[in-house]
């Protein structure tokens, strides 16, 4: 089943140039789609349009077969719950004044009345936080610490735990490893792959790093100057039909 479908999406910040130019793509249940392209090609703009942070100038977004343009309040809330994000900078994503356990509980407390969790169980706040810390391979004592007492990799694990806590259908991962050292990057990619297998959600993994996208994703989309130039199954990356620009990217990865 298709989780999200984007059709002919357009977004411009100024009249002369489209930051996202007629982009269409879809993501299936349980699938990881990687979106690669150099800095400024429009990847984050596309993500922000998906998350409703930017107004789109054309095209449509359909979630669970419902066009967002026709969504009522309940549908929009359902969308907000089901599309979670993990950003590049975990320090900016966590409230410095909240203990880790309170950041982790926040999405659950917002949506608890409409949640029917399959994988996690809420028996108490403490037990819920411990389950989340365990699944992202962090010691449970970290719940009582503040963000500044954690490493970058640990903080990113917390933002991942927070995103999965309400079992969304899709997580938009916008350069989730870009601020980490190489060892932590590899560990976070492995964790994301393991979580996807055990929880079955879909990912849109945005990155300028084709090697990282290749490691995590089943399908890869390539953007340049706001346009989607190429989209293919990972196994077809070396196929001679690849777009010349994809071949250039492969040459440097
Ligand atoms: N808020 C904004 N106002 C005006 N122009 C913007 C804004 N955000 C992005 N742009 C422009 O839109 C284009 C696409 O930017 P975007 O951030 O989406 O690219 P990106 O591929 O995500 O880049 P990066 O990998 O560096 O984050 C760029 O030309 C950028 O300068």
Give the pLDDT band of residue 63 (cuts 50, 70, 90).
very high
Q: pLDDT digit string (tens) for 110-164? A: 999 999 999 999 999 999 999 999 999 999 999 999 999 999 999 999 999 999 9
State yes or no: pLDDT of 253 exceeds 80.
no
Strand ranges for the chain from DSSP E:
2-14, 17-28, 32-36, 58-63, 66-67, 83-86, 170-174, 202-207, 219-224, 227-233
Q: pLDDT digit string (tens) for 64-106? A: 989 998 899 999 999 999 999 999 999 999 999 999 999 999 9
Q: Give the Å distance between the CA of 45 and the centre of ligand 1.
A: 6
Q: Domain range holding 138? A: 2-251
CA-223 nearest atom, ligand 1: 21
Q: Give the Å distance between the CA of 207 and the centre of ligand 1.
A: 14
**SS3 call for 62:** strand
Q: Provide the pLDDT for residue 70.
A: 86
Q: Provide the pLDDT for residue 15.
A: 87
CA-44 nearest atom, ligand 1: 22
* Atom 30 in ligand 1: residue holding the nearest Cα: 40
CA-208 nearest atom, ligand 1: 25
Q: What is the ipTM of this complex?
A: 0.94
What's the total number of domains in the chain? 1
For helices 152-164 and 182-199, the axis angle rounded to 10 degrees is: 20
Q: Report the CATH number at residue 13.
A: 3.40.50.300
Spacing of C-alpha 67 from chain mean position: 20
Q: pLDDT digit string (tens) for 28-40? A: 999 999 999 999 9
Q: Provide the pLDDT for residue 246.
A: 95
Q: pLDDT digit string (tens) for 186-239? A: 999 999 999 999 999 999 999 999 999 999 999 999 999 999 999 999 999 999
Q: Provide the pLDDT for residue 170.
A: 97
Give this prediction's pTM: 0.94
Q: Provide the pLDDT for residue 111.
A: 96
Strand ranges for 180-249 from DSSP E:
202-207, 219-224, 227-233
Q: Give the Å distance between the CA of 108 and the centre of ligand 1.
A: 32
């Amino acid at each position: 089943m298709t989780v999200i479908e984007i059709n002919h999406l357009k977004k411009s910040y100024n009249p002369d140039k489209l930051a996202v130019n007629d982009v269409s793509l879809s993501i299936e249940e349980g699938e990881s789609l990687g979106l690669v392209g150099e800095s400024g090609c429009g990847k984050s703009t596309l993500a922000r349009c998906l998350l409703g942070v930017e107004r789109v100038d054309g095209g449509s977004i359909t979630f669970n077969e419902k066009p967002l343009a026709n969504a009522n309040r309940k549908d929009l809330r359902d969308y907000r719950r089901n599309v979670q994000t993990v950003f590049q900078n975990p320090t900016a994503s966590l409230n410095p004044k909240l203990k880790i356990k309170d950041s982790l509980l926040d999405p659950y407390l917002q949506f608890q009345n409409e949640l029917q969790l399959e994988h996690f169980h809420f028996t108490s706040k403490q037990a819920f936080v411990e389950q989340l810390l365990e699944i992202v391979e962090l010691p449970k004592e970290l719940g009582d610490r503040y963000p500044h007492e954690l490493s970058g990799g640990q903080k990113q694990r917390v933002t991942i735990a927070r995103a999965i806590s309400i079992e969304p259908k899709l997580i938009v991962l916008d350069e989730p490893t870009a601020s980490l050292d190489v060892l932590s990057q590899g560990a976070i990619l492995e964790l994301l792959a393991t979580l996807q297998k055990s929880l079955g959600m879909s990912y849109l993994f945005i990155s300028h790093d084709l090697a990282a996208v290749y490691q995590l994703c089943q399908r890869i989309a390539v953007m340049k100057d706001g346009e989607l130039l190429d989209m293919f199954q990972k196994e077809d990356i070396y196929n001679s039909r690849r777009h010349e620009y994809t071949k250039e990217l492969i040459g440097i990865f």
